[in-house]
A and B are shown apart, each in its own frame.
Chain A
Amino acid sequence: MVLKLENVCKSFGETEALRSISLEVKRGEFIALVGPSGCGKTTLLNIMSGFESPTSGTLDRNEPGHMIYQSDGLFPWRTAAQNIELGLQYTPDKLHREKELQNILDLIGLDGFGDHYPHELSGGMRQRVELARALVGGNNVLLMDEPFSALDYITRLHMRREFTRLLEKRPRTVILVTHDIEEAAQLADRVIVLSDRPAQVRSERTIRLPRPRELTHPEVVKAVHDVLREMGLEK
Chain B
Amino acid sequence: MRAFPLRRLLPFILPAAGVLIWALCSRLELFPAGLVPSPVEVVRGFIDQVQQGRMYDDLIASLFRVTLGFLIAVVLGVPLGLIIGLKLHARQALLPTVNFFRSLSPLAWIPFALMWFGLGDKPAIFLIFMASFFPIVLATAAAVANIPAVYFRVARDFGLERGKLLTQVTLPAIMPQIITALRVTAGMSWVVVVAAEMIAGRDGLGFLIQDARNQLRPDLLVVGMTVIGIIGVLLDRLLVQLTKIPSVRWGYNR
- A interface vs B, CB < 8 Å? 49, 51, 66-67, 69, 72-73, 75-78, 86-87, 89-90, 117-119
Residues of A within 8 Å of B14, CB to CB, are none
Q: How far is the CB of A47 from chain B (nearest CB, A)?
A: 14
Of the candidates A51, A77, A78, the one whose C-beta lies within 8 Å of that of B153 is A51
Q: How far is the CB of A28 from chain B (nearest CB, A)?
A: 21
- CB <8 Å contact, B154 and A75: yes
Residues of B within 8 Å of A118, CB to CB, are 250
Of the candidates B148, B157, B158, B247, the one whose C-beta lies within 8 Å of that of A77 is B247
User: Nearest 9 A-B pairs (CB), nearest first?
Assistant: A76-B250, A77-B172, A77-B247, A119-B250, A86-B158, A119-B253, A73-B154, A67-B157, A73-B150
- B interface vs A, CB < 8 Å? 148, 150-151, 153-154, 156-160, 169, 172-173, 175, 246-251, 253
- A71–B150 Cα distance when bound, in Å, is 9
- CB <8 Å contact, A75 and B153: no
- Chain A: CB-nearest residue to B164: A89
- CB <8 Å contact, A72 and B175: no
Most chain-A Cβ atoms within 10 A of its Cβ — which of B157, B173, B247? Answer: B157
- CB <8 Å contact, B158 and A72: no
Residues of B within 8 Å of A86, CB to CB, are 154, 158, 160
- CB <8 Å contact, A87 and B250: no
7 contacts between A and B (CB under 8 A): A66-B158, A67-B157, A72-B150, A73-B150, A75-B154, A86-B154, A117-B250
- CB <8 Å contact, B248 and A51: no
Q: How far is the CB of B253 from chain A (nearest CB, A)?
A: 5
Residues of B within 8 Å of A51, CB to CB, are 153, 156
- CB <8 Å contact, A66 and B157: yes
Of the candidates B151, B248, B251, the one whose C-beta lies within 8 Å of that of A75 is B151
- CB <8 Å contact, A119 and B159: no
Residues of B within 8 Å of A72, CB to CB, are 148, 150
- CB <8 Å contact, A67 and B153: yes
Residues of A within 8 Å of B153, CB to CB, are 51, 67, 69, 73
Residues of A within 8 Å of B158, CB to CB, are 66, 86-87, 89
Q: How far is the CB of B179 from chain A (nearest CB, A)?
A: 12
- CB <8 Å contact, B175 and A77: yes
Q: How far is the CB of B147 from chain A (nearest CB, A)?
A: 11
- A49–B250 Cα distance when bound, in Å, is 29
- A168–B247 Cα distance when bound, in Å, is 34
- CB <8 Å contact, B156 and A77: no
Q: How far is the CB of A161 from chain B (nearest CB, A)?
A: 25
Residues of A within 8 Å of B253, CB to CB, are 119
Q: How far is the CB of A158 from chain B (nearest CB, A)?
A: 24
- CB <8 Å contact, A75 and B157: no
- A118–B253 Cα distance when bound, in Å, is 11
Of the candidates A49, A73, A89, A117, the one whose C-beta lies within 8 Å of that of B246 is A117
Given contacts A75-B154, A75-B169, A89-B158, 11 further A-B contacts (CB under 8 A): A51-B156, A67-B154, A67-B157, A69-B154, A72-B148, A72-B150, A75-B151, A76-B250, A77-B248, A118-B250, A119-B250
Residues of A within 8 Å of B148, CB to CB, are 72
The answer to whether residues A78 and B247 also contact, given A72-B150, A73-B150, A119-B253 and a CB cut-off of 8 A, is yes
Q: How far is the CB of A89 from chain B (nearest CB, A)?
A: 7
Residues of A within 8 Å of B154, CB to CB, are 67, 69, 73, 75, 86
Q: How far is the CB of A214 from chain B (nearest CB, A)?
A: 33
- CB <8 Å contact, A49 and B151: no
- CB <8 Å contact, A75 and B172: yes
Residues of B within 8 Å of A119, CB to CB, are 249-250, 253
- Chain A: CB-nearest residue to B175: A77
Residues of A within 8 Å of B251, CB to CB, are 76
Residues of B within 8 Å of A49, CB to CB, are 157
Residues of A within 8 Å of B172, CB to CB, are 75, 77-78
- CB <8 Å contact, B159 and A89: yes
- CB <8 Å contact, A77 and B150: no
Residues of A within 8 Å of B159, CB to CB, are 89-90
Most chain-B Cβ atoms within 10 A of its Cβ — which of A67, A75, A117, A118? Answer: A75
- A117–B176 Cα distance when bound, in Å, is 15
Of the candidates A66, A69, A78, A117, the one whose C-beta lies within 8 Å of that of B150 is A69
Residues of A within 8 Å of B169, CB to CB, are 75
